[in-house]
């Protein structure tokens, strides 16, 4: 592959207004104590994105350290199976094994630019925590990661990883002691340390500017993929697909394609045991608008607006909210979001492993599962040149214990 220079960040027709609203969604529902910090961050981010030196420095770090541009890989055996061309954007080969490194490197570089020397982050299964600890080590910053007590127990290896990287992990007991509570606790901590501490948020959700800023740091995925696809095949893909948890990998892929009207865009949500069972995390499918973690978006909530615990075999998708830009993209119809059950995702994980020798993260397996259905249909309509580009957001090493249990290995 030749290196595909990161296209200069272009706006799309689906961007937020200057106050962070994507149509009816987004905004900033935050304690006043954090507003100054969010304003400062907004300004610093916009200033940085307009500074070619910052953009160049971000790209250089992603390239030299994280291994971008990630490959666009034609999965030939899988393509043969489904009768359409399957392209995988290999974010699984990035340093630390997922797209998430892009976001943390961007935010940490911005933190450095803002003169702060400490970062905090929330984490669910530990992926964003490990990525944040990695970025902090790279930049020589102090790092504290908040993690639900339940997750600390379940994900001992990732806790060890963060410790090795020099980060402090704080176990959070409140609420359900999982990801959403870790976010709550990180926000609480941020309130009291906001003068010298940056909060590296792990997905394209939360209060303005996080949804737009995280997207900007993740959008290399789509910028690269679009250029690679054009370069390698001379055409844009017929469809693109990603899994949607908070939505960072998905929006990172979509952004470059939003105004390509001929490109169909799909997002695959964690359907858990099946949306009809209530045990799922398919927030957009549930389509229930509310405010969570600082933004108006779709939220899994009860009649009184209390957040409902989400369920997914995939820790990284197990979140009762979703980035507000996705809510907007769903409402406008630009992107089609569909739920994928645990069982469908695990079947796809197995299929990709056996067919291509690539064990995907269970998150990414949701995208594979959904996209293969799309590809079959497109292949039937358009023949084997129909092209579906899937973001392989991460590798499955972290998920082996889950897979062992699921497949009884």
Partner 1 sequence: MSNTSATAFEKARADGRAALVGYLPAGYPDVDGGIDALRCLVDSGCDVIEIGLPYSDPVMDGPTIQAAAQHALEGGVRTRDVLRTVEAVAATGVPTLVMTYWNPVERYGVPRFAADLASAGGAGLITPDLTPDSAPEWIAAADEHDLDKVFLVAPSSTDARVAMTTAACRGFVYATAVMGVTGARTTTSDLAGPLVARTRQTTDLPVGVGLGVSNGDQAAEVASYADGVIVGSAFVRALLDQDDRAAGLRALAALTEDLAAGVRRA
Ligand X SMILES: Cc1ncc(COP(=O)(O)O)c(C=O)c1O
Active site residues: 100, 122, 393
Q: Which two tokens stand for residue 171?
A: 């176990």
Binding to partner 1 by CB under 8 A, coded x per residue (else -) over 288-307, reads --xxxxx-x--x-x-xxxxx
Give the separation between CA 203 and CA 246, rounded to whole angstroms.
5
**Phi first, then psi: what are they for 242, rounded to 5°?**
-150, 160
**CB burial class (10 A; 0-12, 13-18, 19+) of residue 104?**
buried
The footprint of partner 1 on residues 79-98 (CB under 8 A) is: none
* DSSP reduced 3-state for 328: helix
Q: Which of 106, 246, 339, 379 binds ligand X (CB under 6 A)?
A: 246
| Minimum separation from the CB atom of position 362 to a copy of itself (A) | 12
Rounded to 5 degrees, φ, ψ at 305 are 85, 10
Q: Compute the distance between CA of residue 360 and CA of residue 350 in angstroms, rounded to an integer.
A: 9
Q: Which does 363 bind (CB under 5 to 8 A by kind): ligand X, partner 1, a copy of itself, none?
A: ligand X
Least distance (Å) from ligand X to the CB of residue 311? 15
**Site string (120-149) toward a copy of itself, x via CB under 8 A:** -------------xxxxxx-x---------
How far does the chain reach from its first CA to its final CA, in angstroms?
Answer: 36
Interacting residues with ligand X between 80 and 99 (CB under 6 A): 98
By CB under 6 A, is residue 316 in contact with ligand X?
yes
Considering the rule CB under 8 A, would residue 177 count as an interface residue with partner 1?
no
DSSP per-residue letters across 164-207: HTT-EEEEE-STTSSHHHHHHHHHHHHHHHTTTEEE--SSS-SS
Q: Is 278 in the site for partner 1 (CB under 8 A)?
A: no
3-state DSSP of 266-287: EEEEEEECCHHHCCCCCHHHHC
Residue 292 makes CB contacts below 8 A (sequence gap 6+) with: 180, 299, 301, 307, 320, 321
- Answer yes or no whether residue 322 interacts with partner 1 by CB under 8 A: no
3-class state of residue 314 by DSSP: coil
Stretch that binds ligand X, among 7-15, 181-189, 241-249, 302-310 (CB under 6 A): 241-249
Beta strands in 75-141 (DSSP E): 85-90, 118-123
Cβ 174 to partner 1, closest distance in Å? 5
Q: For the segment 327-356, give every residue that binds a copy of itself (CB under 8 A).
A: 349-350, 353-356
CB neighbours of residue 309 within 10 Å: 13
- Of residues 216 and 386, the one with the C-beta less far from ligand X: 216
Q: Does 67 bind a copy of itself (CB under 8 A)?
A: yes
The residue within the footprint of a copy of itself, chosen from 4, 42, 79, 94 (CB under 8 A), is 94
CB 242 within 8 A of CB 391: yes
Q: Give min distance, CB of 315 to ligand X, in A.
A: 7
- Contact residues for a copy of itself (CB under 8 A)? 1-3, 63-65, 67, 71, 73-74, 77, 90, 92-95, 97, 133-138, 140, 156-157, 159-161, 163-166, 349-350, 353-359, 397-398, 400-401, 403-404, 407, 409
- Contact residues for ligand X (CB under 6 A)? 98, 100, 127-128, 203, 243-250, 316-317, 361, 363-364, 393-394
């Amino acid at each position: 592959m030749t290196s595909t220079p990161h296209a200069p960040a272009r706006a799309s027709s689906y961007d937020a207004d200057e106050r962070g609203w994507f149509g009816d969604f987004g905004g900033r529902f935050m304690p006043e104590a954090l507003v100054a910090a969010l304003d400062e961050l907004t300004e610093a981010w916009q200033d940085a994105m307009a500074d070619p030196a910052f953009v160049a420095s971000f790209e250089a770090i992603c390239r030299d350290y994280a291994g971008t541009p990630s490959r666009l890989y034609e999965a030939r055996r899988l393509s043969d199976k489904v009768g359409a061309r399957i392209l995988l954007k290999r974010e699984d080969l990035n340093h630390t094994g997922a797209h998430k490194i892009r976001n943390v490197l961007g935010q940490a570089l911005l933190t450095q630019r803002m003169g702060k020397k400490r970062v905090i982050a929330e984490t669910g299964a530990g992926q964003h925590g490990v990525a944040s600890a990695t970025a902090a080590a790279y930049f020589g910053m102090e790092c504290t990661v908040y993690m639900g007590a339940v997750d600390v127990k379940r994900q001992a290896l990732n806790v060890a990883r963060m410790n090795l990287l020099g980060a402090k992990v704080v176990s959070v007991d409140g609420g359900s002691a999982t990801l959403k509570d870790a976010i709550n606790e990180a926000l609480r901590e941020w309130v009291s340390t906001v003068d010298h501490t940056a909060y590296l948020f792990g997905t394209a959700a939360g209060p303005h500017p996080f949804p737009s800023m995280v997207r900007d740091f993740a959008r290399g995925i789509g910028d690269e993929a679009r250029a690679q696809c054009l370069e390698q095949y001379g055409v844009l893909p017929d469809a693109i697909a990603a899994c949607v948890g908070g939505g960072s990998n998905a929006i990172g892929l979509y952004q470059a394609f939003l105004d390509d009207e001929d490109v169909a865009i799909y997002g695959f949500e964690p359907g858990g045991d099946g949306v009809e069972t209530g045990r799922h995390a398919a927030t957009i499918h549930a389509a229930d608008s509310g405010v969570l973690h600082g933004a108006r978006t779709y939220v899994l909530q009860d009649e009184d607006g209390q957040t409902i615990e989400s369920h997914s075999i995939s820790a990284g998708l197990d979140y009762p909210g979703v980035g507000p830009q996705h809510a907007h993209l769903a409402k406008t119809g630009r992107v089609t979001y569909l739920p994928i059950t645990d069982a469908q995702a695990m079947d796809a994980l197995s299929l990709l492993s056996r067919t291509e020798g690539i064990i995907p993260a269970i998150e990414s397996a949701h995208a594979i599962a959904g996209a293969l259905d799309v590809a079959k249909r497109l292949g039937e309509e358009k023949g084997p040149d129909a092209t579906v580009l899937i973001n392989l957001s991460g590798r499955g090493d972290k998920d082996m214990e889950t897979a062992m249990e699921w497949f009884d290995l």
